[in-house]
Amino acid sequence: MKAQQEAVFIHIPCDLCGTRDFVTLGKPKASGKIENIVPIPEDISIVRCKRCGFYYTDPMPFWRENELQDIYDATYFPEMTRWWKRVKTKVNPQRRLDTIEKHATSGISQFLEVGCGLGYGLEDAIRRGWVVCGQEVSPFFADQVITRLGIKVFVGQLAAAHYPENYFDAVYVDSVLEHLPQPMEMFREIHRVLKPDGVAYITVTNEDALINKLRSLFFKLTQPRRCPILSPLAYPVHLIGFTPDTFRLACESVGFEVKRVVVCAGTSEWRKFGIRNVGCLLLNIIYFPVYLIGEKLGKGIAIEAVIIPRKQDRK
Ligand SMILES: [Zn+2]
């Protein structure tokens, strides 16, 4: 019975350009949680497409519904520091929705948060008087939002929600695309449901970050087989990865114009979740300046972008 529920691991081509020509970078980190949920194939690796530079997992896990429930459950988010809680729940959504308003050429009425998690974008949108829709694959997260905000959340993949075409004035996608085995389907769906004069705000992890270069050097000396990027088998369960170049390529290939891309320093783990042990403290003393220098060099850990449907593609 368990066998029918297990994830399918499939060798797929690069989701961004379609080629199967890749360089193998190394093995991903594994955690007990995922290994307890599903048996992991021995040949699983992190790879980079030779043609376009997109990072992905090979073979790629396609989680089934019950596995998505187990991965994205009450234990998914570690306990947050007070500072990070405020940034994540208030400061970031407010700043990003302000940016959406600045780029909107007409008023915003219909707002969609894709992969809404615990619904902080939705909460800020409701305060602005927008009509909100939330989509989320995790029933646990969706239930939290429904209870807290009293709104409907579609539970399932975005395309399965069958939102009408040209419907939303604004779409907000915070740290979601990295979790998808084939993110281009979501890019196409966002383009389909967004109005021709709509605005989307997307955040993704930047795999071209300076910290990853440093970790790569460190792993070469200590764990030569280990890849420093992506984490398909451990928190935060990232299956694919963008750089600013591949992110732009992805947007443009489905008919978006990139209005603004910012590479941010991001936030180090200790500021998000606190210091758990001495090793964690030492690591973060090293990491913190690297994040800041990375930002100055355009190699921070987070990409934030405003995208709009390209004029000649507008329906
Ligand atoms: Zn490619």
For the domain that residue 145 is a member of, what is the CATH number? Answer: 3.40.50.150
193 has a pLDDT exceeding 50: yes
Cα distances (angstroms) measured from residue 198 to each of 107, 127, 258: 10, 20, 13
Least confident of 28-32, 65-69, 163-167, 184-188: 28-32
SS3 224: coil
Residue that the structure tokens 């991903």 belong to: 28
pLDDT of the residue at 275: 73
pLDDT of the residue at 288: 80
Cα distances (angstroms) measured from residue 129 to each of 27, 90, 98, 108, 124: 47, 16, 13, 9, 9
pLDDT of the residue at 295: 83
Question: Does residue 41 sit within a domain?
Answer: yes
3 has a pLDDT exceeding 50: no
Please give the mean pLDDT across all residues of the chain. 91
What burial letters (b/e) apply to 67-80, b meaning 16+ CB within 10 Å? bbbbbbeeebbeeb
pLDDT in tens, 213-223: 988 988 889 99
308 has a pLDDT exceeding 50: yes
pLDDT of the residue at 314: 54
Question: Measured in angstroms, how far is the CA atom of residue 238 from the centroid of ligand 1?
Answer: 17
Question: Measured in angstroms, how far is the CA atom of residue 258 from the centroid of ligand 1?
Answer: 19
Question: Measured in angstroms, how far is the CA atom of residue 286 from the centroid of ligand 1?
Answer: 33
pLDDT band for 173, please (50, 70, 90 cuts): very high
pLDDT of the residue at 296: 86
Rounded mean pLDDT, 247-254: 98
Question: Measured in angstroms, how far is the CA atom of residue 181 from the centroid of ligand 1?
Answer: 14
User: How many CB atoms lie under 10 A from the CB of residue 283?
Assistant: 15
Question: Measured in angstroms, how far is the CA atom of residue 71 from the centroid of ligand 1?
Answer: 27
303 has a pLDDT exceeding 70: yes
Most confident of 129-133, 284-288, 299-303: 129-133
Q: Which two tokens stand for residue 34?
A: 């995922």
pLDDT of the residue at 245: 97
Task: Give the span between the Cα atoms of 244 and 200, in whole angstroms.
Answer: 16
Question: Measured in angstroms, how far is the CA atom of residue 11 from the centroid of ligand 1?
Answer: 14
Question: Measured in angstroms, how far is the CA atom of residue 68 from the centroid of ligand 1?
Answer: 26
Question: Measured in angstroms, how far is the CA atom of residue 267 from the centroid of ligand 1?
Answer: 29
2 has a pLDDT exceeding 50: no
Question: Does residue 141 sit within a domain?
Answer: yes
Cα distances (angstroms) measured from residue 310 to each of 16, 25, 107, 198: 19, 35, 19, 10
Question: Does residue 315 sit within a domain?
Answer: no
Question: Measured in angstroms, how far is the CA atom of residue 30 from the centroid of ligand 1?
Answer: 25
pLDDT in tens, 9-52: 999 999 999 999 999 999 999 888 898 888 899 999 999 999 99
Question: Measured in angstroms, how far is the CA atom of residue 183 from the centroid of ligand 1?
Answer: 13
Rounded mean pLDDT, 263-269: 76
Question: Measured in angstroms, how far is the CA atom of residue 275 from the centroid of ligand 1?
Answer: 38
Question: Measured in angstroms, how far is the CA atom of residue 232 from the centroid of ligand 1?
Answer: 19
pLDDT band for 78, please (50, 70, 90 cuts): confident
Question: Does residue 74 sit within a domain?
Answer: yes
Rounded to two decimals, what is the model's pTM? 0.92
Question: Does residue 248 sit within a domain?
Answer: yes
Question: Does residue 216 sit within a domain?
Answer: yes
Question: Does residue 288 sit within a domain?
Answer: yes
Q: Domain range for residue 127?
A: 2-310
Q: Please say whether the beta carbons of 153 and 142 come within 8 A.
A: yes
Question: Does residue 235 sit within a domain?
Answer: yes
Q: What percent of the chain has a predicted confidence (pLDDT) above 90?
A: 70
274 has a pLDDT exceeding 80: no
For residue 205, the number of C-alpha atoms closer than 13 Å in the C-beta half-sphere is: 22
pLDDT of the residue at 1: 42
pLDDT band for 271, please (50, 70, 90 cuts): confident
Question: Measured in angstroms, how far is the CA atom of residue 192 from the centroid of ligand 1?
Answer: 23
Domain count, the chain: 1
199 has a pLDDT exceeding 90: yes
Q: Please say whether the beta carbons of 46 and 26 come within 8 A.
A: yes
Q: Which two tokens stand for residue 211?
A: 């910290």
Task: Give the span between the Cα atoms of 105 and 297, in whole angstroms.
Answer: 32
Question: Measured in angstroms, how far is the CA atom of residue 25 from the centroid of ligand 1?
Answer: 15
pLDDT in tens, 117-169: 999 999 999 999 999 999 999 999 999 999 999 998 999 999 999 999 999 99
Question: Measured in angstroms, how far is the CA atom of residue 22 from the centroid of ligand 1?
Answer: 8
Question: Measured in angstroms, how far is the CA atom of residue 216 from the centroid of ligand 1?
Answer: 22
Rounded mean pLDDT, 247-263: 97
pLDDT of the residue at 208: 93
Question: Measured in angstroms, how far is the CA atom of residue 18 from the centroid of ligand 1?
Answer: 6
